[in-house]
Amino acid sequence: MPSLSERYEAEVVNFDCDKAVEGICETMRDIMRSKLRRRGVVVAVSGGIDSSVSAALAVKAFGAKKAFFIQLPEVDSAEDTQSRGRQLIDFLGVDHTTHNIAATLEAIGCYDARDEAIKKTFPEYSDGWKNKIVIKGGLDGRVNHFMLVVQNPEGELHEKRLDLKEYLQIVAATNYKQRIRKTIEYFHADRLNYAVIGTPNRLEYDQGFFVKNGDGSADLKPIAHLYKTQVYALAKHLDLPASICNATPTTDTYSLPQGQDEFYFALPYQEMDKALWAHNIGASASDLAGMLNISEEQAKFVFQDIVNKRKTTHYLHAKPYLIEPIPELNL
Amino acid sequence: MSSEAQIRNYILENYLFTDDPSALDSADSFLDQGILDSTGILEVIYFLEDEFKIKVEDTEMIPENLDSVNNIITFIEKKRP
């Protein structure tokens, strides 16, 4: 009988990329034809692996002339992600625009609200300092909680546990970024009579790693069923530029570099993919422990964290609840 | 008001939106019963620190200390000088 790792290799890592691309493109066309009835697609291109693969699939499904790409940087966006986004746009040859959202975020109070909460934790924080939030707890069986990390202009790092009120305000403020971006994506979609492509992979979608009415909002999510490992495989299969295929995933939301596993997941994505897959096929904590080379207790905590995140973020996926159904709409 | 009553009332009022004491058993697991999620637990920690003047350390943020009214009572009794 094959080991769990062998099964993962066979079923996830070495999946049939040709067949996957063909199936995704056909389903995208079918959804556009029968449900969305739009003339093309808008994709916000961040330079990350997920939006790059989604953009390439959209071009494959509909053609470059039926796609419109947008880059939406702000002051905390890393230069290398923007440059990778430009490379992708050049590579796919799609009409595009760049809209820097920093002035909008400034005007709406995003940076002020964030900095006010940071200063309650680090009063000395000011211009020239950088920040990020780091999650703690999931791998140790503790309640997930959040540390604020700041770096002064001399490069010294300081870290403190965030009180809930400040944590919520920092997240609420930075969520403006995803929501303003989505507003602009829908402006172009409405203008062109296009649909908006959402770009979460399976790990992000399943575990609720998105902002409701922000990056969680879209008309069609073409890679939400694919593990991140598979998204990387598709990037190579689609011959995307090497800089994109080899990029480390970041949130690109805070001014200090922040891995997704620092902010949200208990483990780096390669291992989270394995843990989520193992959980989905009903593997035991002991099997996962062997697969990831961690203790059985830690494997139990990782499984528990997956279940907890599903519960906590369920409402992010949900449509607004009604007191009584409206059956005539057949939604 | 006893500590237990204070904690029970806080949970009933803020998470169950009721004043019916039968809606919550002091042994009910907040997480398993879906009464609280992880953000809710952080709110409870904030409430405990404020109300009982204790400091919950990172290492103490485990379900054994926080996942039911009974667990919280045992925990704060231990924390008090």
CB pairs A-B closer than 8 Å: 39
CA B65 to CA B57: how far, in whole Å? Answer: 11
- Structural domain boundaries, residue B30: 3-79
Task: Scan residues 39-78 of B and list those with Cβ closer than 8 Å to A.
Answer: 39, 41-43, 45-46, 58-59, 61-63, 66
- Within a 10 A sphere around the Cβ of A330, how many other Cβ atoms? 5
Burial of B78 (0-12, 13-18, 19+ CB in 10 A): exposed
CA A163 to CA B43: how far, in whole Å? Answer: 9
Q: Which residue of B has its CA nearest to A168?
A: B39
- Within a 10 A sphere around the Cβ of A219, how many other Cβ atoms? 18
Chain A contact set for B45 (CB, 8 A): 143, 164
The pLDDT assigned to A308 comes to 86
* Residue ranges of chain A with per-residue pLDDT less than 70: 138
Overall domain count for chain B: 1
**Cα dihedral angle (A237, A242, A246, A252), rounded to 10 degrees?**
-110
Our CA-based measurement puts residue A135 at a distance from the nearest CA of chain B, in whole angstroms, of 12
The pLDDT assigned to B48 comes to 95
Chain B contact set for A137 (CB, 8 A): 58, 61
Burial of A323 (0-12, 13-18, 19+ CB in 10 A): exposed
**Contact A215/A181 with Cβ under 8 angstroms?**
yes
Task: Scan residues 30-59 of A and list those with Cβ closer than 8 Å to B.
Answer: none
Query: What are residue A137's phi and psi, to 5 degrees?
Result: 120, -45
- Within a 10 A sphere around the Cβ of A170, how many other Cβ atoms? 25
User: In this complex, which of B34, B37, B46 lies closest to A164 when CB atoms are compared?
Assistant: B46
State whether residue B62 is helix, strand or coil: coil
Whether domain A12-108+164-248 has CATH 3.40.50.620: yes
Across the interface, whether the CB atoms of B63 and A312 are under 8 A apart is answered no
ipTM of the complex: 0.86
Chain A contact set for B59 (CB, 8 A): 142
Output the CA–CA distances (angstroms, integers) from residue A24 to A9, A18, A31, A237, B54, in the order listed: 21, 10, 10, 14, 54
Name the residue among A235, A146, A162, A157 with its Cα closest to residue A199: A235
Across the interface, whether the CB atoms of A136 and B58 are under 8 A apart is answered yes
Across the interface, whether the CB atoms of B38 and A144 are under 8 A apart is answered yes
Q: Which residue of B has its CA nearest to A313?
A: B37
Across the interface, whether the CB atoms of B61 and A145 are under 8 A apart is answered yes
Chain A contact set for B68 (CB, 8 A): none
The pLDDT assigned to A103 comes to 98
CA angle (B47 as vertex; B44, B48 as ends), nearest 5: 90
**Contact A23/A164 with Cβ under 8 angstroms?**
no
The crossing angle, in degrees rounded to 10, of helices B38-51 and B69-79 is 40
State whether residue B80 is helix, strand or coil: coil
CATH value at residue B19? 1.10.1200.10
**Contact A35/A330 with Cβ under 8 angstroms?**
no
DSSP state letter for B31:
T
User: In this complex, which of B34, B39, B61 lies closest to A142 when CB atoms are compared?
Assistant: B61
Q: Which residue of A has its CA nearest to B37?
A: A312
Residue-range domain boundaries for chain A: 12-108+164-248, 109-163, 266-314
**Contact A59/A41 with Cβ under 8 angstroms?**
no
Is the Cβ of B22 closer than 8 Å to some Cβ of chain A?
Answer: no
* Residue ranges of chain B with per-residue pLDDT less than 50: none
Across the interface, whether the CB atoms of B61 and A164 are under 8 A apart is answered no
Across the interface, whether the CB atoms of A167 and B42 are under 8 A apart is answered yes
What does the block give as tokens for A67?
């796609």
